[in-house]
Each structure stands twice: as C-alpha cells, then as structure tokens.
C-alpha cells in the first residue's frame, strides 16, 4: 500500500495509484475514473495507438483548474512510449515536445492516475522509429451555436454523410461528449495534411452554401448563433480531437461516445445523446466498437 492509495501491477508494470477516493467530479472519484479507463481500454486503446496524446489534466477535479500537457513530465516511467514531435510556434518556446503515446493499458492507467480526464489525438500516427505518418482520417467537428443543440448537429451530420457518400466515402459519428458531434472518414494513405484540410474545408463550404440557415463554415463565432459550425480545421496536423471513449470534464462525467446513424436520426432532445461511463460500457458490451471500421475498414483515396 502507498499513502492515499495503493500499489498495483498492470500487465507487468508496477503503478502507485494515489488519492483514489478524491472526487474528480462532484460524485465520481479518481478511483472510478481509473476503473472506467481500465474497463474501456480494449476498445479505446486501438484508437489511441501510435497517436501522440495531448492530456488535459484536472489535478483538483473538474471544479479546479486544468492544464494541457503535451510534453511527458519528468517523472514519466521509462516504459511509457514517447515520441518527439515538432511543435513550431509553441507557447512554451520549444520547437519539439516528447509526447506520450498511449499504446497499452499501463500507460492509460498511469495517465488516469495523473487526473488526465481527457485524451486528445491527431488524425495521423507516428511510426515505430518516430517518423510522422500522413493522415489516415478526416474529421469534422459539428459545433452547434445556441440556441441550436446537438439535435441540429445531427441534421447536419446526415447532410454531410450524403455529401461524403457522393465521393464514395463511408463516415462514422461519435458525440463530442459535450454539445456537438464528430464525424470521421477513414482515408487511404498517403495524403498530405494540407490535402485533407482542403477536402474537409470544401465539404463544409458546400454545406454552408446549400443550407445557409443551418450551417456555417467560417470561424467567426458571431456567425454561429442558431446554426451548426462545421469545423474542418481539426485536420490541421497541429490540432487534435478528443479520442473516442475519452471522458469529458463537466458537472458529471460524460463520454465521447460512438453512435449509430439510427440513433443520430432519431435524436429529438440533446439529452438523448449524453452517455455516462457505465452507459458506454454497457453499449460496448452490446454493440462492440462502433468505430472499428476506422481501424481496418474500407479506405479510399481523396478525390
């Protein structure tokens, strides 16, 4: 046993888990956060594998301050995989950072023990020797501007699905875990990052021109009231999107959850697509990983 927690062995790695009874959410403890990540790991880890992770940490819980952590801290165990990634223009003044790559259960539990409630990853991977691969995903972030909600985002997602299908692409939705949706398209490598951003931007602009009362493709927040911003910019290689199955920081724990197109089509209230950790674990038991096609599904080159 260790002070305030306990010592455990996870797949041969020894970890000191601390402050397990501390509330990171008003009614959800650090121990429950770690338990959730340990149980969701079989479906979550494949979506984290080989992708450098930005961890968002809340050491004092969601009612306390947060900080974004890209560089691996000095106390990182030597068995945690890291990758040196260029970070030009970083606020830290560094040109590179040693990102943690969450490839296994011990690393995921270690991150959870550091109160890294959220894990965010890019649309590209790093190779075994640290080389940066071209993007293998295109992502769209559908962000409703009040009074619009996820209900309107579902409507836009269906329209976007049809646009993508015209180019022969399948697309796969998940909730952001907050108020919006993410739509993913697996693509065939190699694709220059500029090309994926260009493709996503063109699709967003097309929707905005065809449905101007519902969709906006420009960044200005003043344009978003009552409409859904189709954010294509997360395809920039310097940006990340919250990982599938990641917790989100809110008044109660919610999860960025893969959903079916039927669920998306039948959404009538924002609460219909809010899922707790226990609900997500139940969904996985019932449906498996709804985003599994992103891992080994049919891939097409961008037009």
pLDDT, tens digit, for every residue of 23-37? 999 999 999 999 999
- CATH architecture of structural domain 134-239+253-275: 2-Layer Sandwich (3.30)
Instruction: With beta carbons less than 8 A apart as the criterion, state whether 172 and 282 touch.
Output: no
- 6 or 114: whose pLDDT is higher? 114
- Which residue has 């979550």 as its token pair? 44
Quote the CA–CA distance of 167 and 171 in Å, as a whole number: 11
Considering the chain, tell me which residue range(s) the CATH 3.90.920.10 domain(s) occupy. 6-122
Angle at 138 between CA 39 and CA 229, to 5 degrees: 95
Whether the pTM exceeds 0.75: the reply is yes
Could you tell me the fold of the domain covering 6-122? DNA primase, PRIM domain (3.90.920)
- Which residue has 């997602």 as its token pair? 157
Instruction: With beta carbons less than 8 A apart as the criterion, state whether 226 and 238 touch.
Output: no
Tell me what pLDDT residue 1 has.
Answer: 30
Tell me what pLDDT residue 4 has.
Answer: 57
Alpha-helical (H) ranges within 1-76 are 30-48
Beta strands in 40-105 (DSSP E): 52-57, 67-69, 82-86, 96-101
Tell me what pLDDT residue 82 has.
Answer: 97
Mean pLDDT of 58-78: 95
Tell me what pLDDT residue 79 has.
Answer: 97
Q: What whole-number percentage of the chain has pLDDT above 90?
A: 87
Considering the chain, tell me which residue range(s) the CATH 3.30.70.3300 domain(s) occupy. 134-239+253-275
Q: Which tens digit of pLDDT belongs to each residue from 128-170?
A: 988 999 999 999 999 999 999 999 999 999 999 999 999 999 9
294 three-class SS? helix
Quote the CA–CA distance of 57 and 116 in Å, as a whole number: 4
Quote the CA–CA distance of 16 and 75 in Å, as a whole number: 12
Tell me what pLDDT residue 300 has.
Answer: 85
**Farthest CA pair distance, the chain:** 62
Tell me what pLDDT residue 213 has.
Answer: 96
**Cα separations in angstroms, 217 against 1, 206, 213:** 53, 9, 12
- 92 or 68: whose pLDDT is higher? 68
Tell me what pLDDT residue 120 has.
Answer: 98
Mean pLDDT of 34-44: 98
Q: Which tens digit of pLDDT belongs to each residue from 208-227?
A: 999 999 999 998 888 889 99
Residue 91 has pLDDT above 70, yes or no: no
Q: Which tens digit of pLDDT belongs to each residue from 224-282?
A: 899 999 999 999 999 999 999 999 999 999 999 999 999 999 999 999 999 999 999 99
Give 255's strand partners. Answer: 247
120 three-class SS? strand
Tell me what pLDDT residue 297 has.
Answer: 65
Burial (CB count within 10 angstroms: exposed 0-12, middle 13-18, buried 19+), residue 29:
middle
Q: Packing angle between helix 105-113 and helix 30-48, nearest 10 degrees?
A: 140
Q: What whole-number percentage of the chain has pLDDT above 70?
A: 96
Tell me what pLDDT residue 89 has.
Answer: 66
Tell me what pLDDT residue 192 has.
Answer: 74
Quote the CA–CA distance of 62 and 27 in Å, as a whole number: 11
- Which residue has 């917790």 as its token pair? 247
Burial (CB count within 10 angstroms: exposed 0-12, middle 13-18, buried 19+), residue 264:
buried
């Amino acid at each position: 046993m260790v002070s305030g927690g306990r010592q455990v062995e996870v797949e041969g790695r020894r970890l000191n888990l601390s402050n397990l009874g501390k509330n990171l959410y008003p009614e959800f403890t650090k121990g429950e956060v770690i338990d959730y990540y340990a149980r969701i790991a079989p479906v979550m880890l494949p979506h984290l594998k080989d992708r450098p992770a930005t961890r968002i940490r809340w050491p004092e819980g969601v009612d306390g301050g947060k900080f974004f952590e890209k560089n691996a801290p000095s106390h990182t165990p030597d068995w945690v995989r890291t990758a040196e990634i260029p970070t030009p223009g970083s606020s830290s003044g560094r040109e590179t950072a040693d990102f943690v790559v969450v490839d296994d259960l011990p690393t995921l539990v270690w991150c959870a023990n550091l109160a890294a409630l959220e894990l965010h990853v890019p649309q590209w991977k790093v190779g075994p020797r640290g080389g940066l691969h071209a993007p293998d995903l295109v992502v769209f972030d559908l962000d409703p501007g009040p009074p619009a909600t996820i209900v309107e985002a579902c409507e836009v997602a269906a329209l976007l699905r049809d646009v993508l299908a015209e180019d022969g692409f399948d697309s796969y939705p998940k909730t952001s875990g907050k108020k919006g949706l993410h739509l993913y398209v697996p693509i065939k490598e190699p694709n220059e990052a500029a090309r994926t951003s260009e493709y996503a931007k063109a699709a967003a602009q097309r929707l905005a021109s065809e449905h101007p009362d519902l969709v906006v493709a420009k960044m200005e927040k003043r344009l978003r009231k009552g409409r859904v911003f189709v954010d294509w910019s997360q395809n920039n290689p310097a940006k990340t999107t919250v990982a599938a199955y990641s917790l989100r920081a809110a008044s109660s724990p919610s999860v960025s959850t893969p959903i079916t197109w039927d669920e998306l089509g039948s959404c009538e209230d924002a609460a219909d697509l809010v899922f707790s950790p226990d609900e997500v674990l139940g969904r996985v038991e019932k449906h498996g990983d709804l985003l599994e096609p992103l891992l080994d599904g049919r891939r097409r080159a961008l037009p």
